[in-house]
Chains A and B, each alone.
Chain A
């Protein structure tokens, strides 16, 4: 907890927070990072394998093979989400499954399944991007900012 946040608390609250902090079970950062590295890495190796297959057997080029590769990864993670397996893998793998495209697919599919009971329009349609929405919003915005910077540099004769 930051000190700035702590300042607003009364001394009694601060004392309690220290006690609670001490009792909190620490997350094993090293173990979690290792798991995430192994699972995330395996997903990437698998994706690389898919890309090679698409290039070798389906006449894709190195540039175009990325699209079918992510599509296959997305389909697999959506299926695993639907069968109720993904969240169990993710609890073990942590960032390993949430950072690759698999995590993004899972966040959309899980929200869509969850809100099916409120109907297709308001339920599925309205809530599908509940978790993924911020990623898209700020992703698009960052791309815009980076784009502007690139154009400016070009205009100044930088590139």
Chain B
């Protein structure tokens, strides 16, 4: 096996991954109105499928070259997608550039994810060290209005005394039910998995997919909390907390996002409208995605040889 042969496979991985990722990122907002379950499932698939498809296509090509189906000895007019005869890729500067850019992007994103996790964990640990006790709900003596859940191994709800004092009892219960639902559904773990999959997403697609996934997850947890308390209590808690945070910002410098404002309105309106989660559609979507992926892979396997040759002709 020659290491330079891997350049060709790298090009295929990048092209299949980026194309699929961009197409799915385009599709997510178009199917989002079917409910937050559909939106979250679609966002997850948009992160997962490009990696699965790109890996599968590269695996099929590599296995073919290993079992001797490749035609390297008879076709000399292009660079071969072959573990043994792919040396010519080293003479294709554009291919080297594509693979190098792909690796650089993945490495930069991985570093950003690692850094933000380490920094975030340190900040959470620092807060935890200042608090007494080991309860799953930590009341934080603070004038700021906040309620967050943090911690992968031992998720804990950190809620400020200001929020405790400002919220009515039904709003308080609704807010804690929302955060408890995050814990029950292991959302922080799922988001970390999403972040890892998005290392391979097309440029900008990752941002759109992450935003959709988070918005859908928040709406699902709102719906969970509404089932345990009431839709009005959750909606009222959201507005109350947003107002408290807006007042705090008058004296503080923090990055503002219009996205957050739009999401707040969407969450409140969805709760009050009693909008469906879209779970049946989400299950159907998962079935369709699974079947389609299997079909694509079966076709790729059935027509592996012409596909192999076509890709070589296209790229080489």
Q: Do A and B come from one complex?
A: no
Chain A residues with CB under 8 Å of chain B are none
Chain B residues with CB under 8 Å of chain A are none
